[in-house]
Amino acid sequence: MTSYIIRRLIMMIPILIGISIISFAIMYAAPGKPAILNLDPEISAEVREAQIERLGLNDPIPVQYVRWLGNVAQGDFGTSYSRKMPVTEMILDRLPNTLLLMATSLFLAAIIAIPFGVISATRQYSLTDYGVTFGSFIGLATPNFWLGIMLIMVFSVQLGWTPIGGVATIGADFSILDRLKHLILPALVLATADMAGLTRYTRSSMLEVVNQDYIRTARAKGFRERRVIYKHGLRNGLIPVITMFGLMLPTMIGGSAIVESVFGWPGIGKLFIDATFQRDYPVIMAITMFGALLTVIGNLIADILYAVLDPRIEY
């Protein structure tokens, strides 16, 4: 297992480099120099050209890429064009908020979707099964931004139970309850689509498991149905579902961009949206690489968990 993990970590390097080359080429192939948009329009042409030259934007794109890659290898993603701040500092400042939102969303998706998927599988073709299936399709089809706006209108505007947006009440002392009130709606919205898909995956996997011979043997021994399903069946049924958790990590970055914008949550997703509108390429590249890193790490975690859940799997 250790050698397998080391090989996979080494394989990440060319994959990430390939993603960075494609992303860098696409962004810098766009017409115009984005840094010019953030320069003082009243400065002279000579000063403007001097600043562009200082930023290295007159160099060929391959030269700019090699210089950028060398800085990234040292942990420097450059300076934001719009905010004139180190990109690494901006991301680290927003990262805890995004990780909190993602962790809460994963937790909500797991504790809600997996039990519902198991119930739906064990009561196949019942009203409960049809209800869970219908709810899953609704969750998959509902846009995150629309659901977020509707929840804000109901729970924040009409009922006044939750804040409209932000991560905490401005000017108030730190309070866990206050943070939870700000967190619950964006976390629920972010978890909705993954929750629906996870329910369907769990149901499909459990339908295959409950008809296996070892499940019938456990029932024949007189074990309680709950023990048969959750102790003997669920562990094997969760193996395909683990793939979903590995792939949910990068998709939550994309989903959080919309959710954080709707709720004004100061995370990486909102930072990415703002940087896109401002054509702040250093920020965009840094967040793109962060999402790519989450993707390859998520796949690696999924493979490792396969072996943890099923000792028959060897690498």
Q: What gap in Å lies between CA 106 and CA 244, rounded to an integer?
A: 11
CB of 61 closer than 8 Å to CB of 24? yes
pTM: 0.80
pLDDT, tens digit, for every residue of 111-165? 888 889 888 888 888 898 899 989 888 888 888 888 999 999 999 889 888 888 8
Q: In which band, very low, low, confident or very high, does the pLDDT at 38 lie, cut at 50, 70 and 90?
A: low
Least-confidence region, from 87-96, 166-175, 244-253: 244-253
Overall average pLDDT of the 195-217 stretch? 83
Centre a 10 Å sphere on the Cβ of residue 301 and count the other Cβ atoms it contains: 14
- CB neighbourhood size of 156 (10 A): 17
> Hey, what amino acid is at 241?
V
Write down all domains in the chain, each with its CATH number in brackets: 2-73 (no CATH), 91-309 (1.10.3720.10)
60 burial via Cβ count (<10 Å: 0-12, 13-18, 19+): exposed
Q: Which residues does 103 contact at the CB level (< 8 Å), separation at least 6?
A: none
**In the numeric block, which tokens belong to residue 162?**
């939750």
| Cα 101-77-281 angle, rounded to 5 deg | 85
Percent pLDDT > 70 in the chain is: 90
Does the pLDDT value for residue 182 go beyond 60? yes
